[in-house]
A = this chain, B = another copy of it.
């Protein structure tokens, strides 16, 4: 099966396509609030999925990190406003500090193409 890398850099690629599956780099977002960061990160997920020939209705698995577990409800509200309710992925969420203190949420997405 072929491997195609999108937004490829020397440290990581934004997305890697292998056969009918695409793996996205963990996406963080800009903004101050959890809601704004979710919107920004999930817009980037949309962009990368589109570039890979996929879309949010084809997400298989999403692993979510939030920097404070108290953000869980706010993240869920932003998630549910974005996700395709008829085609939701397997999901897992935990608390984890992220690459920079300003980041409050990160989404690691695997999707079908």
Residues of chain A whose beta carbon lies under 8 Å from any beta carbon of chain B:
1, 3, 5, 8-16, 18-21, 23-26, 58, 60-63, 65, 69, 72, 76, 79-80, 83, 85-99, 106, 108, 110, 112
Contacts and interface: CB of A to CB of B under 8 A. Distances in A.
Given A3-B58, A3-B87, A24-B90, 10 more contacts: A10-B85, A11-B80, A12-B89, A18-B60, A25-B90, A26-B94, A72-B99, A92-B106, A93-B98, A94-B106
21 contacts: A1-B112, A3-B58, A3-B60, A5-B87, A10-B85, A12-B88, A12-B89, A12-B91, A16-B90, A18-B112, A23-B89, A23-B90, A25-B92, A26-B94, A63-B108, A69-B99, A72-B99, A92-B106, A93-B98, A94-B97, A95-B96
A58 B85 CA distance: 29
Number of this chain's copies in the complex: 3
A44 to B, nearest CB: 13
A88 to B, nearest CB: 5
Nearest to A26: B92
A106 B14 CA distance: 21
